[in-house]
Structure 1
Amino acid sequence: MRIRSLAYAGLSTRELPSWETFGADVLGLPGHWAGDGRLLLRMDERAYRFDIRHGDAEGLSWLGWEVASAADLAALEHDLAAAGVTVTRASAAECADRRVAGMAWLVDPSGLRHELCYGQEADFRPLRLTRPLSGYRTGEHGMGHAVIGVRNYAETLAFLVDTLGFAVSDTFKGFIAFLHCNPRHHSIALVETDEPGLRHIMLETATLDDVGSTFDAAFDRRIVTRTLGRHSNDRAVSFYLETPSGWEIEYGWDGMDVDTAGWSTRQLAGPTSLWGHHHVTGTEIKTS
């Protein structure tokens, strides 16, 4: 598999100042304003993981997927072109904008832009998070996972698997698929829906205490959307909170790894959570 991890996410919002406050005060992510007015949020040594820009709509603009080298990017471009996929090589200016050494991009059947890149800028001096946190689980696992709602589920799933090379970890009742490209149980998931778009991005912490302290920060601001729970497939203990853009962050710990060489796809029959993850509406918790 040439795609190694989820490197970054590009977001559009009308709420840039709110995102800076949310990133720092809730997620503990230091922000940097680029010269063109966009907000870059850091999680680790990478120059950024979230690239947030002003736009007329709230949502996901692109996902950045890391490959190992220029040779791997060229080989992936060749494979995609041979499969009849339109791939555009990024200009030097576009690479500088994304802070990568090289990049190409394509659009999947649902209309989402995927950027294939290598050599993302990194600063290995100690990173000071803006809240007392142990840090985030990234490295070979990438920044986390993204869950995307799509109308053309079967077509998009086939594209991600057969063309981009993701492997299916689990499926759920024929309308959700969880896909991996490294030991993280899933780096992207698809949900069939009549309301397409970004559902959530998951961030994984180093300790359970990090989850607890962030739950308190979100609870104080009344932005918790689903209570603490443990998922049945990836075993992550997590809760959900609302971002300034309206979609959710899943904030969790202890997600399982998969054996990328020997994993067998599973079909889930039970609920997606072993316990918890009850929906919160205003001051009420819904248990169904």
Structure 2
Amino acid sequence: MNDFPGPDTDLDSVFGAVHLGYLVAHSRRLTEWRRFGELAIGMHTDALDEDTLRFRLDDHACRFLIRRGHAEDVTALGWQIDDHETFERILARVADRGVPIEEGTAEDTALRGVQRLWRFPGPKGIATEIFTTPMTTSEPLRMLGSGWVTGEAGMGHVAIVSREPESMHGYYRTLFDSRLSDFIDENISGLKMKIRFLRVNERHHSIAIANVRGVKLDPLRTRVQHVNIQSATLDDMLAAYGRVTELGFRMAWSVGQHTNDRELSFYCVTPSGFELEVGWNPIVVTPEREAAWEATTYQGISIWGHHTVSETVLDKLARVRAAAGRLRTPEITVPELTGGMSR
């Protein structure tokens, strides 16, 4: 139910009725993904067949869908829409701008655990998928912690590095009436960037966009920089940190606390190379806070912690080689949905 006030000039706002529902990734490393998701992070695992893994965080049948493939990356983001009227309104925004829309097949909906699915292009080549009704299950969760925070806030957030940040911001504003939560100015490994944080519901942000405009090549091989999920307790988050380390998965950033949403978290590297942030207790933008919210710029990502964990020489060489292969490659945008915000 959308309890948030819409912008005064837009009575048709869909803000508050949109929630990150699932992600789809393709990987050849399903054995490592199972070890990572089940034994390190502690999520519920369902192996549908030798080519398909699903991870659950709650009663939704699917939150992470990992399919055998060569991308080693996130290929689609699934967004849950509260009701059919809002669903049709979003589809109309896409269709009216001439963006191609594809209906999901029966196999697509079954794998993702949803009843209805439509797909269309998204920034950086990540498909946007929207659905109304998730399939839920009463099967008990087999997890190593007490649970994960989802509900009205969705399953978490996704962070993307972009050389076209205004286009990406415009895309999510046009599509979901996203609102700007705040900015962070940061210098990471000599790379100065301004990160903008967009919310589409009570979660402080469902999309983070790191601006690297002017950089000739994308500093990351993967389309997403990280995906975030939220632990139910601090003990759950710290236990996952210990398991990731003990099982030999690479830690990217140690435990720390963010300046803007105050979330405590750590970042580790998934078997596909993008990062997973496991966090706890971020700010929730309630309707009361929403009414008075003003975007602020923070200096630095963290109040404390989040120290980088050293890469090996081979890791650095692989990153440089992958980046060189993308030199002068234009970033994929969806200009019809930028709302005039592209540069």
Question: How high is the TM-score relative to the length of structure 1?
Answer: 0.90
User: Where in structure 1 are there 5+ consecutive unaligned residues?
Assistant: 284-288
Match of 1:214 in 2: 240
Letter in 2 for 1:203: I
**Which moves more between the two structures, 24-33 or 72-81?**
72-81
Match of 2:19 in 1: 5
Match of 1:286 in 2: none
Equivalent residues, number: 281
Residue 270 of structure 1: CA displacement?
1.3
Letter in 2 for 1:153: P
2:111 & 2:245 partners in 1: Cα distance?
A: 36
Letter in 2 for 1:52: I
Match of 1:205 in 2: 231
Letter in 2 for 1:234: D
2:50 & 2:240 partners in 1: Cα distance?
A: 30
1:146/1:45 CA distance change after superposition, 3 Å: same
Answer with 1 or 2: which has the greater Rg: 2
Residue 219 of structure 1: CA displacement?
2.0
Residue 37 of structure 1: CA displacement?
2.0
Matched, 1:246 2:273: yes
- Structure with the bigger percentage of strand: 1
- How does 1:4-83 map onto structure 2 within 5 Å? 4-35=18-49, 37-83=51-97
Residue 281 of structure 1: CA displacement?
0.8
Q: Contact 2:18–2:176 at 8 Å: present in 1 too?
A: no
Match of 2:207 in 1: 188
User: Where in structure 2 are there 5+ consecutive unaligned residues?
Assistant: 1-13, 186-192, 213-217, 313-343
| Greater relative contact order, per chain length (Cα 8 Å cut-off, separation 6+) | 2
1:239/1:33 CA distance change after superposition, 3 Å: same
Residue 72 of structure 1: CA displacement?
2.4
Deviations 1:202-221 (A, max 9, x none): 11111111111111112223
1:282 & 1:200 partners in 2: Cα distance?
A: 17
Match of 1:271 in 2: 300
1:159 & 1:128 partners in 2: Cα distance?
A: 37
1:143 & 1:166 partners in 2: Cα distance?
A: 17
**Which moves more between the two structures, 218-227 or 90-99?**
90-99
- Structure with the bigger percentage of helix: 2
Question: How high is the TM-score relative to the length of structure 2?
Answer: 0.76
**How well do the aligned residues superpose, as a CA RMSD in angstroms?**
2.0
Match of 1:232 in 2: 259
1:147 & 1:282 partners in 2: Cα distance?
A: 21
- How does 1:157-172 map onto structure 2 within 5 Å? 157-172=169-184
Residue 179 of structure 1: CA displacement?
1.1
Give % identity. 32
Q: Which of 99, 103, 127 is the matching residue for 2:113?
A: 99
Q: Contact 2:75–2:125 at 8 Å: present in 1 too?
A: no
